[in-house]
Amino acid sequence: MCPPEHFTVEYAINPWMDTEVAVDADLALKQWDTLRNTLVDLGHLVHVLDARPGLPDMVYSANGAFSVDGTVYGARFKYPQRADEAAAHRAFYESPWRYHAPIQVNEGEGDFAYLPGAYGGIVLAGYGFRTDPAAHAEAQEVLGRPVISLKLVDPAFYHLDTALAALDDRHVTYYPGAFSPASQRVLAQLFPDALLADREDAEAFGLNLVSDGRHVILNTEAAGMGRKVRDAGYLPIHVNLSELKRGGGSVKCAVAELRA
């Protein structure tokens, strides 16, 4: 995780960003700290990456890389405003991880999800707005895991992690309307028992969640999604990240999962 010490909305690179509405910096930091403490209280170890001036979106640390079994596929951001974030994440991952610098444009865990218990271990990968489809083949070579490409078609859900989430090692939840008809068919075939979300859930960033297989941490706004995951047998824990949503992210965007 990376604290929002320099978080502002200075530019608009997704539909959620409004440069005319000021961010409450103190509240953003307080909300972020609540999320970090929630993870720690659940028994998770949280590494903190130092925030850097001039990089207001570093708080969305999930975008900096994607790790599987100790191997890290680094990020190469689409927009120049975020390009320098990649070096900061690389410095963290290079030791003791096996870091691979990317050639193709990709935004890390924002567009990649790993399910180790599904089909022997597969990667779901989004494209359409940020990550180049060629990055999916590159990631497959680096990580040695099958990569399933999924096309995102709604600009409101510009990263995979705004439209789909792993609930545990084998099960996912997703909003069908964020994907192309062909990708919807792929998901239905791979995950016939998936927990389906609706647009209201997705717009509340209810799919931008972090799950340890039992506890599902999600945005306070996503009350409906919380009820759905509870009905599915998980324990929802709501955290208010209203300020981070101003930049187009929530719980998952703020957490890069380390898979050693």
Catalytically active residues are 159, 253
Q: Which of 155, 165, 126, 132 is nearest to 16 (CA)?
A: 155
End-to-end Cα distance, the chain: 16
Strand partners, 239: 219
Q: Which one-letter amino acid corresponds to residue 70?
A: G
Spell 21-39 as b/e; 16+ CB within 10 A means b: eebeeeebbebbeebbebb
- CA distance linking residue 106 with residue 127, whole number of Å: 9
Task: Evaluate whether 185 touches 204 at the Cβ level (below 8 Å).
Answer: no
